[in-house]
């Protein structure tokens, strides 16, 4: 950038604790074209002053030295053509750096009286920190270029494919049509409606959530068939999905005839299938005793109105429901299907409505009736013909009269029980149709189907907490029971959300910016193919399948699949991948812009590459609570920990920095990086970091990865202090002063 303007806020304690004139001098020395300071930059007068300076000085970019980039981002927006760099003097300097006092010592009114190190006051170090931040901000602005939106060649297709014609698929198609878009609904069966169409009754989808009603699916089918914007194809399967959001090529087969159509985005609502009960002969007796059936088989019996024992055709007068049959079991389904308790309660109610003399026994590990459906559970407790108890299933035997005897222990009554019944119903649980079945035939380099959640086989993996509708394939959204186990009303709500996300994706493609979590990011990775060595690291590490490759291994980017995490940027050993506003030269120049203290003075310098998703918010919250952070650390926010290139670490270490800290999202069984595997990939790359340190003859303790969740702001300062103390034990960098 030719002309960089720097604006320094003097409010929020910045002017109280820092010498503003020295900060202005640092900005000017770094080569800014214009520099000004004023109180309340975020106020109306401050914003107008910035706009006026931009116009009068023909500034190409601006640096706002004030509060965190996480606040007032809308206030400091001066148009797409003018990049804005934020320097956090408030949170990362004046609100988080305090003199380290001895126990019982009080803070003097004049900070200059506090000695930080030999010949260096705390005030001097605080100013050195602030000036480094200002210099880094100016350099970043000098290295930035206005991102240009990526536009697909040709016309963007705005038709949305809905896979599946159950309640979720029907709802998604209707929501798409209501929003003014066309939908193509493909259902593999010859009839629409899915499993719900086979049900006698369903749970009441609204207040008071105590009754049963006719399945809503019949009305959904009528509405879909009457809608001109929805094309329905039954008895069909999707054979191929190629391309990218806004330009998918989808091939489906209907009755032996293949057709390829243009599609913009996809909603997958292919539903679920019951867990294979043949695996439950022991100890549940399925296949061994004819009168042991699954909850699906019992639902069919209820729908037909024929409550007869399969063994001899005699009337069913008593039914035992065994919950979690093969669920929450590492040998079968490790998860809870969430709706089986409700299904058994519903079936018990139907049993009682069909025969007032029939008895229902429900034995459960835990009764789970999600949300307001607790009302349904409470209502059924008042039925004297329904017996409910928490219990552990012990076994099954057959009495002399042919009835089955259910043996349970650890009941709420405290005693073991043996209950003779006519029929045993196993709540076997739900498995998504995507499990072990390539119904999402993606022609991507990474192969067909979705990457799956490790603990929930078949369910699509993305950031399950923050982005529940997403899959790891941009523009393809899961809905209903292929997304997670859920009841009918929840599946319909889920489908509406997925349909809106598909439309949102098409709008993002049209405008040329990213989708979640960097929505409105117009930058995208650009490749210098002349220097590419076809190592394939970028294609293999991309969490979202945004890259294909040609037969020689050269990356083939699909920018509308890309979520701008920068994982490819961090993976590239040749540094040939860059963003206009996030590049190798920018990071290296920012490191060089910081002034190194003289060696052997005990003044350490640490650069912390900090993830913008969890670690940066935690740092800000620590500042809001006035938690103390070591003065030695300079924080550089990154898109993701996976977007840290080893070249930056090499530059820092050879440039005299004493240590490098990488702070990212937690990963593992109970956590997820916002970009799926950023922290995990950064940890794997530590092998390359170790090689770099070995080449420089530096200690491995100088480069460390730490993970932090967004709510651990109280622990973060302790973590930073521990790293500082570990560095002090190792000593200053031998490259300092070179």
As a whole number of angstroms, the distance between CA 622 and CA 638 comes to 19
DSSP string, 354-407: H-TT-EEEEEESS----GGGHHHHHHHHT-TTEEEEE-EEEEEEE-TTS-EEEE
Nearest Cα residue to 559 out of 145, 157, 146, 150: 150
Place of tokens 């940890």: 683
- pLDDT score for 644: 97
Residue 455 banded pLDDT, cuts 50, 70, 90: low
Same fold for the pair 1-146 and 160-271+433-511: no
Question: Of the candidates 158, 156, 163, 160, which has an alpha carbon nearest to the alpha carbon of residue 252?
Answer: 163
553-587 pLDDT tens trace:
999 999 999 999 999 999 999 999 999 999 999 99
For residue 108, the model assigns a pLDDT of 66
The pLDDT value recorded for residue 602 is 79
Domain 289-428, architecture per CATH:
3-Layer(bba) Sandwich (3.50)
383-421: per-residue pLDDT in tens? Answer: 999 999 999 999 999 999 989 999 999 888 888 999 999
With a pLDDT cut of 90, the percent of the chain lying above it is 83
Distance from chain centroid for Cα 167: 26
Q: Which CATH number fits domain 1-146: 1.10.10, 1.10.3470, 3.90.550, 3.40.50?
A: 3.40.50
Mean pLDDT across 432-446: 87
On whether the CB atoms of residues 59 and 35 are closer than 8 A, the answer is: no
The residues spanned by each domain of the chain are: 1-146, 160-271+433-511, 289-428, 526-577
Q: Is the torsion defined by CA of 409, 413, 418, 423 positive or negative?
A: negative
Return the pLDDT at 113. 67
Q: Could you tell me the two tokens for 315?
A: 């009337």
Q: How far apart are CA 510 and CA 516, in angstroms?
A: 15
| Residue bearing the bigger pLDDT, 612 or 469 | 612
Residue 138 in this model has a pLDDT that exceeds 70: yes
Residue 20, pLDDT above cutoff 60: yes
Start-end of H helices in 459-559: 488-511, 537-541
The residue with tokens 């098409």 is 506
pLDDT digits (tens, 9 = 90+) for 183-219: 999 999 999 999 999 999 999 988 898 999 999 999 9
Segment 479-533, tens digit of pLDDT:
999 988 999 999 999 999 999 999 999 999 999 999 988 999 999 999 999 999 9
Check whether 453 has a pLDDT greater than 80: no
User: What's the pLDDT at 450?
Assistant: 83
pLDDT tens for each residue of 36-76: 999 999 999 999 999 999 999 999 999 999 999 999 999 99
Q: What is the pLDDT of residue 116?
A: 66
Express each pLDDT in 663-685 by its tens digit.
998 887 667 788 888 888 999 99
What is the predicted pLDDT for the residue at 274?
94
- Give the residues across from 424 on adjacent strands: 292, 320
652 pLDDT above the threshold of 70: yes
- What is the reported pLDDT for 56? 97
Average pLDDT of the chain, as a whole number? 93
Longest distance between any two alpha carbons in the chain, whole Å? 99
Supply 713's token pair: 């702001």
Mean pLDDT of the region 223-236: 98
Distance CA 225, CA 290 (A): 41
pLDDT at 103: 65
The mean per-residue pLDDT over the stretch 371-381 comes to 92
How much helix, strand and coil, in percent to the nearest 5, is found in the chain? 30, 25, 45
Report the pLDDT value the prediction gives residue 326, as an integer from 0 to 100. Answer: 92
% of the chain exceeding 70 in pLDDT: 96
Say which range, 320-334, 412-426, 460-474, has the weakest mean pLDDT. 460-474
Q: What is the pLDDT of residue 464?
A: 66
Residue 287 in this model has a pLDDT that exceeds 60: yes
Q: What is the mean pLDDT of residues 369-389?
A: 93
Q: 70-82 pLDDT, tens per residue?
A: 999 999 999 989 9
Which tokens go with 69?
């980039």
Length of the chain measured in residues: 738
pLDDT score of 104 more than 70: no
User: Which CATH code, of 2.40.50.140, 1.10.357.10, 3.30.70.20, 1.10.10.1100, is assigned to 526-577?
Assistant: 3.30.70.20
Q: Of 429, 479, 428, nearest to 450 (Cα)?
A: 479
Per residue in 201-225, is it b (16+ CB within 10 Å) or e — as a string? Answer: bbbbeeeebbebeebbbeebbeebe
Q: In terms of CATH, what superfamily is 160-271+433-511?
A: FAD/NAD(P)-binding domain (3.50.50.60)
Flag whether pLDDT at 688 surpasses 70.
yes
Q: Is pLDDT above 60 for 101? A: yes
Q: What gap in Å lies between CA 367 and CA 389, rounded to an integer?
A: 9
Q: Pick the residue with more confidence: 588 or 467? A: 588
Give the pLDDT mean for 142-166: 95
Per-residue confidence band for 15, with pLDDT thresholds at 50, 70 and 90:
very high
């Amino acid at each position: 950038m030719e002309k960089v303007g720097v604006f320094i806020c003097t409010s929020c304690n910045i002017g109280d604790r820092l010498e503003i004139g020295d900060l202005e001098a640092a900005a000017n020395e770094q080569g800014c074209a214009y520099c000004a300071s004023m109180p309340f930059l975020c106020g109306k007068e401050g914003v107008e002053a910035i706009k006026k300076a931009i116009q009068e000085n023909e500034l190409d970019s601006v640096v706002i030295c004030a509060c965190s980039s996480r606040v007032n981002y809308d206030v400091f927006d001066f148009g797409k053509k003018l990049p804005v760099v934020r320097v956090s003097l408030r949170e990362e300097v004046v609100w988080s750096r305090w003199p380290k006092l001895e126990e019982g010592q009080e803070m003097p009114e004049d900070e200059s009286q506090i000695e930080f190190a030999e010949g260096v006051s705390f005030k001097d170090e605080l100013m050195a920190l602030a000036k480094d931040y200002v210099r880094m901000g100016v350099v970043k602005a000098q290295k930035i270029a206005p991102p240009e939106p990526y536009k697909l060649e040709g016309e963007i297709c705005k038709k949305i494919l809905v896979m599946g014609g159950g309640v979720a698929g029907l709802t998604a198609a209707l929501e798409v049509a209501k929003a003014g878009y066309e939908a193509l609904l493909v259902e593999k069966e010859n009839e629409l409606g899915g499993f719900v169409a086979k049900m006698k009754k369903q749970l009441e989808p609204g207040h008071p959530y105590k009754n049963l009603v006719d399945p809503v699916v019949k009305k959904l089918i009528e509405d879909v068939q009457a809608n001109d914007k929805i094309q329905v194809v039954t008895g069909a399967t999707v054979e191929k999905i190629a391309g990218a959001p806004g330009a998918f090529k989808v091939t489906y087969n209907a009755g032996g005839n293949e057709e390829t159509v243009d599609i913009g985005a996809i909603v997958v609502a292919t539903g679920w299938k019951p867990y294979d009960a043949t695996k439950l002969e022991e100890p549940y007796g399925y296949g061994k005793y004819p009168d042991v059936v699954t909850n699906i088989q019992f639902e069919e019996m209820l729908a037909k109105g024929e409550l007869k024992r399969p063994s001899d055709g005699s009337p069913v007068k008593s039914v035992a429901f065994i919950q979690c049959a093969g669920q929450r079991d590492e040998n079968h389904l490790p998860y809870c299907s969430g709706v089986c308790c409700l299904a058994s309660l519903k079936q018990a109610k139907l049993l009682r409505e069909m025969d007032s003399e029939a008895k229902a026994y429900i034995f459960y590990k835990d009764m789970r009736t999600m949300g307001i459906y607790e009302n349904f559970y409470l209502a059924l407790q008042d039925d004297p013909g329904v017996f409910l108890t928490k219990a552990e299933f012990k076994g099954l035997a057959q009495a002399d009269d042919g009835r089955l005897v259910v043996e349970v222990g650890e009941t709420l009554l405290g005693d073991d029980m043996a209950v003779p019944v006519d029929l045993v119903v196993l709540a076997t649980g739900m498995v998504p149709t995507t499990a072990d079945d390539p119904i999402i035939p993606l022609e991507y380099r990474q192969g067909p189907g979705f990457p799956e959640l490790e603990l929930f086989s078949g369910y699509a993996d993305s950031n399950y907490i923050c982005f529940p509708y997403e899959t790891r394939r941009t523009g393809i959204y899961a809905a209903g029971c292929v997304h997670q186990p859920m009841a009918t009303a929840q599946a319909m709500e889920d489908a509406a959300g997925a349909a809106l996300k598909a439309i949102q994706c098409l709008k993002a493609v049209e405008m040329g910016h990213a989708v979640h979590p960097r929505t409105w990011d117009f930058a995208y990775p650009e490749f210098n193919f002349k220097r590419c060595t076809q190592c394939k690291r970028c294609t293999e590490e991309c969490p979202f399948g945004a890259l294909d490759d040609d037969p020689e291994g050269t990356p083939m980017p699909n920018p509308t699949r890309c979520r701008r995490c920068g994982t490819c940027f961090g993976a590239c050993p040749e540094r040939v991948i860059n963003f206009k506003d996030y590049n190798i030269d920018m990071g290296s120049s920012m490191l060089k812009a910081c002034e190194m203290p003289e060696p052997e003075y005990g003044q350490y310098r640490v650069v912390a590459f900090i993830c913008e998703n969890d670690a940066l918010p935690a740092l800000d919250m620590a500042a809001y609570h006035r938690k103390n952070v070591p003065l030695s650390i300079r924080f550089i926010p990154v898109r993701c920990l996976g977007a840290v290139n080893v070249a930056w670490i090499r530059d820092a270490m050879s440039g005299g920095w004493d240590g490098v800290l990488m702070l990212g999202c937690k990963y593992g069984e109970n956590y997820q990086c916002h970009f799926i595997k950023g922290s995990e990939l950064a940890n794997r790359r530590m092998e390359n970091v170790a090689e770099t340190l070995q080449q420089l003859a530096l200690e491995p303790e100088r480069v460390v990865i730490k993970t932090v969740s967004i709510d651990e702001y109280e622990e973060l300062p302790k973590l930073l202090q521990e790293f500082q103390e570990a560095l002090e034990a190792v000593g200053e960098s031998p490259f300092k002063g070179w």
